[in-house]
Amino acid sequence: MLELAGVSKRLGNEDHIRDVSLKLERGSMNILLGPTLSGKTSLMRLMAGLDQPTSGEILLDGKSVLGIPVQKRKVAMVYQQFINYPTLSVYENIASPLRVARVAKASIDKKVRHAAELLRLTEFLDKRPAELSGGQQQRTAIARALVKESQLVLLDEPLANLDYKLREELRQELPRIFSELGAILVYASTEPSEALLLGGNTATLHQGRVTQFGRTIDVFQRPADLVTARIFSDPPFNTAPVTKRGTKLMLERFVIGLSERQASLPDGDYTLGLRPWHLEIESAARLSAIEGRVSVTEITGSETYVHLQVAQQPWVSLSHGIRQLDVERTIPLYFSAENIYLFDASGERVLAPDSLAD
């Protein structure tokens, strides 16, 4: 187990990591999810031992690893901007950590060829990195991490330079490959959809702070606060200020009827949250109605993203099929109150959709 206990990293007057506590089990898949500059790479560098925390403790299997050089740890790290040895062949690049560890020649050959097969590099083993595409070079760096058989594998947006098909295949394969080795796998991503595809556990990061950590699907469905909900939503999470009175929510001049469970919340001001795919542009029975002004329509082929202004807030509706709507047109929007989230004045979630009720 890798444990971070109250870890912070401060440079000058700036906090890069703030009071992070995590426990990552062996064989587990762990995603660090957050926008650029949220602290993902900084946290990985602390885990790897490349940087030392300003405060807090980092433990591996109950023993502190602070002060132990990264060269003496069984750690592998792969960045989005891949690093390979330009004068070595692909074979030798993959084999390099095994040669440093003085692994037997026959074992090196077996491990290198197995990794090359998994990552579709067999035909490139005799080439040098300069002769490869960017995606092939990235796969070489991943293969080197694979053969090292590390206790801790850190992947910092490693698939960003790969084509779509290979990226999807590796998203399925990498967690299985490394879990079979019993490694702790940490994977940084800016994409909520990627976190959901990878599964495992997710830690959402905001300004160097972990806002929530748990099973990926639980963090997605039950965000602890509004910050987490916004991090873990693509298209963006729709929000608007509302006022609760009895069995109703008031969103400007629109009235939203509440279920008995929802109505049990105290009256007062809240922030309403709604997923884009729960916002319809066609009427259906038992749906609440509000209005929005169309800003832009994006057609992907099978789906349409309609960007709108609702209560002076930017909203997005995700609909199946092709929808063509005039810009600046005001249209009715429909949703079920069963699908809403509510957050209090501090941003803490106080209500999840009815289907997720505890």
Query: Residue 286: what pLDDT?
Result: 67
Expressed in angstroms, the distance from the first to the final Cα of the chain is: 30
Domains identified in the chain and CATH numbers: 2-226 (3.40.50.300), 238-356 (2.40.50.140)
Distance, in Å, from the CA atom of 283 to the CA atom of 355, rounded to the nearest integer, reads 22
Backbone region of residue 37 per phi and psi (left: phi > 0; alpha: psi in -120 to 50; beta: other values): left
pTM: 0.89
Query: Residue 150: what pLDDT?
Result: 83
Query: Residue 344: what pLDDT?
Result: 96
Distance, in Å, from the CA atom of 211 to the CA atom of 349, rounded to the nearest integer, reads 12
Q: Which token pair is 113?
A: 């060829």
Closest by alpha carbon to 84, among 124, 128, 50? Answer: 128
pLDDT mean by block of 10 residues, the chain; 358 residues? 96 92 94 95 94 94 87 82 86 92 91 89 93 85 85 85 77 76 89 92 97 97 97 95 95 91 94 94 77 92 91 92 88 91 96 80
Closest by alpha carbon to 272, among 221, 315, 232? Answer: 315
The amino acid sitting at 29 is: M
Q: Which token pair is 109?
A: 């050959």
Q: Which token pair is 117?
A: 């097969």
